[in-house]
Amino acid sequence: MVDAIAPEQLIRVLRRARDTDDLGTKINKALALIESVLDDLTEQAVALSFNGGKDCTVLLHLFAVALFARHADVPSELQTRREPIDIPPTSSSSTSESMPRNPVNGSSSASPAGPSSTSNQAQHITSSSPLPYPPIKSIYITAPNHFEELDTFTDESVTRYGMDLYRFGGDMKAALTEYLQCGGGKGVKGVLVGTRTGDPNGRKS
């Protein structure tokens, strides 16, 4: 049986973000970016792309930390320093192929596209959680030949972090369109995506 992540584990990340070494600075910048997106779009308008991979698992953990800090009684010295960022406005005519990319790598703004030519039957899993924040809106786009172990890890993460996850097959455009049109994705304006600099879509720096 999988338990929810302990608050102490999330607070540990907030403490680590106060360190001025390279890792602490990167954690603080990542949390500040997440906070800025949540401030600009609101928590209920932000979802997370999650498929059990390393990058998105790190992002999930940081996202949970940011949400925890917003909803729990966290000491003021551990609160993330928020830095405003520019998020392009959404348009009712935008599609997943023409989503305006956030200038800071890792998030994209989206609005529902027209009816998809490929219909996906969503698999929905969610879990009640003792964590103080609302369920994390999430979309899982499965690969054609994904590993059973990856699905198991993803399901366990739903319980561990308190997620509200919709699983779709097919390509990203069809999956995002279906997600934005279903109950789980209603009102979502931005989807956080975890990438590394060396990934094909990662920002070179």
Per residue in 118-129, pLDDT (tens digit) is 345 789 999 888
DSSP 83-125: -----PPP-TT--TTSPPBPSSTTEEE----S--SS----EEE
Burial of 103: CB neighbours in 10 Å, binned 0-12, 13-18, 19+ = exposed
- Helices 54-71 and 22-41, interaxial angle, to 10°? 70
**Residues 195 and 202 sit within 8 Å (Cβ to Cβ):** yes
Per residue in 157-187, pLDDT (tens digit) is 999 999 999 999 878 888 998 999 888 898 9
Rounded distance, CA 51 to CA 57, Å?
8
pTM, full prediction: 0.78
The average pLDDT across 83-93 equals 53
Q: Band of the pLDDT at 16, cuts 50, 70, 90? A: very high
Task: State what percent of residues in the chain have pLDDT above 70.
Answer: 75
Sequence ranges of the domains in the chain: 7-80+98-192
The average pLDDT across 70-88 equals 72
